[in-house]
Chains A and B, each alone.
Chain A
Amino acid sequence: MAINWFKYSAPSTFYGLAGKLIPFFAWPAAILFATGLYIGFFVAPTDAVQSEAYRIIFIHVPASILSMFIYLIMAGYAALGLIFNTRLSSMMAQALAPTGALFAFISLWTGALWGKPMWGAWWVWDARLTSELILLFLYLGFIALQASIEDPRRADKAAALLAIVGSVNVPIIYFSVKWWNTLHQGATIKMTGTSMHVAMQQAMFIVLVACWLYVIAVALARVRSIILERERNTQWVNELKEVQS
Chain B
Amino acid sequence: MNKLSLFGLLGLVVRRDLLLAMRRRTDVLTTLVFFVMVVSLFPLGVGPEPDMLRKMASGVVWVAALLASMLSLPRMFSADHADGTLEQMMLAPQSLSVLVLGKILAHWMLSGLPLALIAPVLGLQFDMSVQALWILVLALLLGTPVLSMIGAIGAALTLGLRGGGVLVSLLVLPLCIPVLIFGAGAVEAVNGGMSAVSNLALLGAFMLFALVFTPFVAAQALRISME
Contact = CB atoms under 8 A, between A and B. Distances in A.
B214 to A, nearest CB: 9
Interface string B155-180: 00110011100010011011101100
A138 B161 CA distance: 19
Contacts of B224: 154, 157-158, 161
A148 B174 contact: no
Interface stretch (A34-42, A111-119, A139-147, A233-241): A139-147
Interface stretch (A2-10, A59-67, A169-177, A189-197): A169-177
A179 B206 CA distance: 15
Main secondary structure of the interface of B (DSSP, over half): helix
B167 A144 contact: yes
B182 interface: yes
Interface string B191-227: 0000000000010001000000100010011001101
A173 B174 CA distance: 9
A134 B213 CA distance: 22
Contacts of A172: 178, 206
Interface residues of A, number: 26
B205 to A, nearest CB: 10
Contact of B175 (A149, A161, A165, A180): A165
Interface in A129-169: 134, 137-138, 140-141, 144-145, 148-149, 153-154, 157-158, 161-162, 165-166, 168-169
Contacts of A144: 167, 170-171
A183 interface: yes
Contacts of B225: 154, 158
A169 B167 CA distance: 18
A148 B158 contact: yes
A22 B5 CA distance: 57
A173 B173 CA distance: 12
A138 B174 contact: yes
A202 B220 CA distance: 46
A148 B227 CA distance: 16
Given A161-B221, A176-B181, A176-B182, A145 B171 contact: yes
Nearest to A136: B174
Interface of B: 153, 157-158, 161-163, 167, 170-171, 173-175, 177-178, 181-182, 185, 202, 206, 213, 217, 220-221, 224-225, 227
Given A141-B171, A165-B153, 8 more contacts: A148-B167, A158-B157, A161-B217, A169-B175, A173-B177, A176-B177, A176-B178, A183-B185
